[in-house]
Amino acid sequence: MRRAALVLGAWGLWLGAWAVTLAIWGEALVPLLALGGAAVATALLAGCLVFKPPAVDPDRTLSDASAAPPLIAAGLVLTANGLAFGIWLILIGAELVAFGCGLLIAELRRAGAR
């Protein structure tokens, strides 16, 4: 199974769980149909990716996984939330962004040295 299909399948299951939760406790029909439709479409796309023949990938200079982008994203979210909760959260978010940028620069330099 390909990684993209696994990620999309997990996302489709997550959306489906929220749609079931909304069906149980929600009263509005339009959000339920939108969320349920998104879950079904995501699951169908994941199914298509499972049966699609794999493409030939060129040699990569960077690894498939990196901790830098999630760290930068989490830092940006914490920094934005710090606007409501205080300077301490802004500083923690800025530290995560700086650490993630440092990791990204180190990975790019390591890839350029190859």
Residue 87 lies in a domain: yes
pLDDT number for residue 99: 96
pLDDT number for residue 101: 96
Round to whole Å and give the CA distance between 75 and 98: 8
Exposure letters 29-66 (e unless 16+ CB within 10 A, then b): eeebeebbebbeebbebbeebeeeeeeeeeeeeeeeee
Residue 60 lies in a domain: no
Q: What are phi and psi of 80, to 5 degrees?
A: -65, -40
Residues 44 and 9 both lie in one domain? yes
Per-residue pLDDT in tens (0 to 9) along the chain, 114 residues: 577 788 888 889 999 999 999 899 888 888 889 999 999 999 999 888 888 777 776 666 656 678 899 999 999 999 999 999 999 999 999 999 999 999 999 988 887 766
Q: Amino acid identity of 32?
A: L
Residue-range definition of the domain harbouring residue 77: 68-113
- Strand (E) or helix (H) holding 26: none
Longest CA span, the chain: 58
Residue 61 lies in a domain: no
Residue 56 lies in a domain: no
Query: Residue 92's closest CA among 81, 79, 103, 102?
Result: 79
pLDDT number for residue 112: 74
pLDDT number for residue 92: 95
Residues 46 and 10 both lie in one domain? yes
Number of domains in the chain: 2
Handedness of CA 39, 44, 64, 102 (dihedral sign): negative
Residues 109 and 81 both lie in one domain? yes
